[in-house]
A and B are shown apart, each in its own frame.
Chain A
């Protein structure tokens, strides 16, 4: 059976339990004090809105956890008290209005002012009760504990059903209170003693709420076994198969996730997750599903002369025989991976916009198979998780390491490339061929879907750690010497032109000319490199990596 009707019933039954204790007198007195049914509807509608909002704010999320319970009691209690005062001492209220100049400022007619005051009072009274409403209904608990964390929509629907049930009964009580009042002729006079008495009731209840005494009374009732409908409701919950299981405990220690996130598990069904690198369990969905960001498998190229993109557009540049192939960022940002064959070598040209990582891999698997790569849609610390189509394994882009699938823990080989602007390419490689904007996908390559992300201090997905040695999004050039992973601030290196340093007993020399970088080890061998934003490199290598700064501050 669905949980929904049960939620509705639970809302209705809540009225019989001690937790609604503060609500009942406020609603009864508040609606009896106003004339007309409209005010009863207003009070209950505001109550419903307030209960929903504060349930989601305080019990459904941890954002307001730092606010002590007493604060909510005082806020609610003060509001109820304030409304009580306006009812009990109408003359005083008039004077406050006049003194504060609100009467003149608003220039309202007396009649409409009175009516508006009634409306505002009803709404305020309903709203005041949300922050302190804590249901003792086990169904409500089940919704918060088991349903809301797995599906916000279903959880919201059940909360709504619960609130509707609760409000319906409350409305009956409010209307009942009003009809009793109407029968008592002497009670109708808006300035009469009865109305002022109701104000007095609200003052007392407000004080009881603000001082927390009302919770003590509830506790006293509960201790004496007056649990209201809770036992009945629990019985129903036990009898009926609601289709909602008690959720697994939430792990709080680092070993947190031991399962892949659902969006990956559903798509990559052949992966043996037991053997996977636990890092993959921390992956989150970046939004688009697997292949939702389409890799380009069949790239076509046009002569540089035909390309109109501006000189400042950055591009990955690969040597292809005697010429070069250019993959501009304005196209890569929409596809992230281009599976190509350059100089007879199958390569994957990859770019992760959220961590500025530009890396060219050889797309030959350890077993010799040439595969193609796609975008899984998963992110670890903003970094793209790629999947290979031959074995359906998952690979992290920034490290080139397999996190799940047949080749776990192996790494893809890096392929040499340069990071240049189109302006620089136009200078030094006028005959270059450029990845065509005619990709077969309808994308606006003049627009960057990430806006000013590169320059902004903001993240879309906050990284797990931030190393403040450099600005988070500063572009680093990164490479591996022996066992050491090395990063160098790229713009500083470009300005300096060259750098020589010892890393783990090896002397590396870096030379930049015309924007093109050459990295050599002490035996003169070329070292392949890639580029990545500082925060992203630091997340992986903060502890063991080496940073070389050509112009230390």
Chain B
């Protein structure tokens, strides 16, 4: 029993330390975490940054793709988008967000699942949220009317 109690104390202490030590602000400048992801982007498909979002034009539809590097269904969509980005239509911009490293964005749009898509306007105002699109086509077909 005492081991159990001490174990729980360890867990709580670890949580406190973690919360204190981890800087609160997300690193929003770039969220892609591996070299291979940094390649294969274009002006219609980029890693998320506040600047990339702000540079979208007023009539552009922006889709934030929350994706974890260890998430295999996400990987399938990432690969599909990367391979077909020339078919992303004018007026659509896909921004890749790292699920594990974007607590503020997750809170802002209520993202609980590692493979989530959030349609926003260029001011960052949320328009719609959905999960688990498997292909670029499916993603584009799910975009809602504003």
Contact = CB atoms under 8 A, between A and B. Distances in A.
Interface of A: 17-19, 58-62, 65-71, 74-75, 77-79, 82-83, 86, 96-97, 100, 102-103, 106, 116-117, 120-121, 123-124, 128, 134, 136, 138, 141-142, 144-146, 210, 215-216, 218-219, 222-223, 227-228, 230, 234, 246-253
Interface size range of chain B in the complex: 35 or more
7 contacts: A75-B14, A78-B10, A106-B2, A116-B3, A120-B2, A223-B69, A253-B146
B79 to A, nearest CB: 9
A227 B71 CA distance: 9
Contact of B15 (A71, A121, A123, A219): A71
B4 A124 contact: yes
Closest 6 CB pairs of A and B: A252-B126, A78-B14, A218-B70, A219-B69, A120-B4, A145-B131
B70 A215 contact: yes
A88 B102 CA distance: 37
Contacts of B99: 69
A249 B142 contact: yes
B22 interface: yes
B132 A18 contact: no
Nearest to B103: A68
Nearest to B36: A223
Given A18-B72, A247-B130, A252-B125, 15 more contacts: A18-B70, A65-B111, A70-B100, A71-B18, A71-B22, A116-B3, A123-B4, A128-B11, A136-B73, A145-B130, A215-B69, A249-B130, A250-B129, A251-B127, A251-B144
Contact of B118 (A117, A228, A252): A252
Contacts of A250: 128-130
Contacts of A77: 14
B51 interface: no
A67 to B, nearest CB: 8
Contacts of A123: 4
A22 to B, nearest CB: 10
A78 B76 CA distance: 32
B1 interface: yes
A186 B110 CA distance: 53
A141 B132 contact: yes
B132 A145 contact: yes
B14 A124 contact: no
A124 B7 contact: yes
B63 to A, nearest CB: 11
Interface of B: 1-4, 6-8, 10-11, 13-15, 17-19, 22, 33-34, 36, 68-73, 75-76, 99-101, 103, 106-107, 109-115, 118-119, 125-132, 134, 142, 144, 146
A67 B19 CA distance: 8
Contact of B112 (A60, A79, A136): A60
B110 A65 contact: yes
Contacts of A96: 6
Given A68-B103, A120-B7, A252-B126, A61 B1 contact: no
B72 A136 contact: yes
B10 A136 contact: no
A82 B19 CA distance: 19
B70 A230 contact: no
Contact of B103 (A66, A117, A141, A146): A66
B14 to A, nearest CB: 4
Nearest to B138: A246
A68 B110 CA distance: 13
Contacts of B8: 124
B34 A75 contact: no
B113 A145 contact: yes
A15 B45 CA distance: 33
A79 B111 CA distance: 27
Contacts of B13: 78
Contact of A219 (B4, B34, B119, B134): B34
Nearest to B7: A124
Nearest to B144: A249
A128 B109 CA distance: 28
A253 B126 contact: yes
A247 B133 CA distance: 11
B7 A249 contact: no
Which of B14, B22, B68, B107 counts the most chain A CB atoms within 10 A? Answer: B14
Contacts of B7: 79, 82-83, 120-121, 124
A339 to B, nearest CB: 43
A151 to B, nearest CB: 17
Contacts of B100: 69-70, 215
A74 B17 contact: yes
A62 B142 CA distance: 23
B37 to A, nearest CB: 9
B126 A58 contact: no
A123 B76 CA distance: 36
B75 A252 contact: no
